[in-house]
Amino acid sequence: MGIQVEFNPDLALRNYSEFQAGRRAEEECLPQNLQAGQTYKFLKKEARNYWLQGELPLLETKGNAELSKPLASIIILSATHFLLNGEVCTKGEYMVTEVFTDNQIHFNSYAKIKPPTKINKIFICCSKRFYDRVNPIKEQLEQKGFTITLPNSFDDPGHEARLKAQSATEHARFKAQMFTEQEKKINHCDAVLVLNFAKDDQPNYIGGATFLEMYKAFELNKVIYLYNPIPLGMLEDEILGFSPIVINGNLDLVT
């Protein structure tokens, strides 16, 4: 005998007309007057598990996986499994945090999409080999009104190489310090711009340090711009996962 449990990334309820027609309980249906800030009860057949630590989309279902776009953003307050006439069901309460009245996309699967961030501050990151190409790009962005934070060690690109030649311990300490500094810089900015030019025979090069800066920006939910397309190779899939905006050298696309 197996245990059947569903894991639901949303709460899908029937149209209120199903209750009015006597075909569904009121808790199985969407509220007739859905309002932000209000709490409502729900009832679903079968044992269902819901995420309780964040916002989920509220949908209308017609059955057979026929679902509407998200109608609202909700937080599940409680969910309990119980027997109703010998059938396993799930009942609970949810609070509406926002009702959607436009045609915008508000959720990516179960993840709520935050409104676009106004970009004011940009952290430029790239390989040291490209530091000589930073200033013209910095100046163009400043002319557009952006505040620019320059890459680590920009004023002394050779500092790391000198430390590495002198002492492995000092070099390791320096790298640790750079990781701490880059997190502060990225957290202070709205976006990062990755300058990924050709390095030797590697097109659109992104090195290890720059990759870590991209990851930190992703982790901090910052916008990531790529000056050139994503490089092919070992990190391609990971960089795709960051969902960067590729501008193909067009700084007008930085908005």
pLDDT confidence band for 177 (50 / 70 / 90): confident
Cα 189 to Cα 32, 80, 137, 212, distances in angstroms: 43, 43, 17, 16
- Worst-scoring range by mean pLDDT, 5-19, 137-151, 171-185, 239-253? 171-185
240 — pLDDT class (breaks 50, 70, 90): very high
pLDDT at res. 116: 66
Nearest to 28 by CA among 63, 69, 52: 63
pLDDT of 1 > 60? The answer is: no
* CATH T-level topology, domain 121-253: Rossmann fold (3.40.50)
DSSP 95-131: EEEEE--SSS--EETTEEPPPPPPP-EEEEEE-GGGG
Report CA 117 to chain centroid distance, whole Å. 12
Locate tokens 């200033």: which residue? 135
pLDDT in tens, 105-135: 788 777 777 766 689 999 999 999 999 999 9
pLDDT digits (tens, 9 = 90+) for 189-212: 999 999 999 999 999 999 999 999
Strands (E) located in the chain: 6-8, 11-13, 39-45, 48-50, 56-60, 72-84, 87-99, 107-108, 111-112, 121-126, 147-149, 191-195, 223-226, 245-246
CB count in 10 Å sphere of residue 251: 16
The mean pLDDT value of the chain amounts to 91
Q: What is the residue whose two structure tokens read 């059955």?
A: 63
Q: Are strands 56-60 and 72-84 parallel, antiparallel or unpaired?
A: antiparallel
* pTM (whole model) above 0.85: no
Of residues 78, 85, 88, the one with CA closest to residue 47: 88
The percent helix, strand, coil of the chain (3-state, each to 5) is 30, 30, 40
Nearest-angstrom CA–CA distance, 224 and 215: 10
Q: Does 38 score more than 90 pLDDT? A: yes
Q: How many CA atoms lie within 13 A of 252 on its CB side?
A: 0
The residue type of 147 is T
Residue 174: which pLDDT band, with cuts at 50, 70 and 90? Answer: confident
CA dist 171 → 128, 178, 237 (Å): 16, 11, 30
pLDDT in the model for residue 204: 97
pLDDT in tens, 41-78: 999 999 999 988 889 999 999 988 899 999 999 999 99
Judge whether 49 and 9 are in contact, CB under 8 Å: no
CA distance 242 to 247: 15
Domain boundaries, the chain: 6-112, 121-253
Asked if 172 and 114 touch (Cβ cutoff 8 Å), the reply is no
Q: Is 16 left (phi over 0), alpha (psi -120 to 50) or beta?
A: alpha
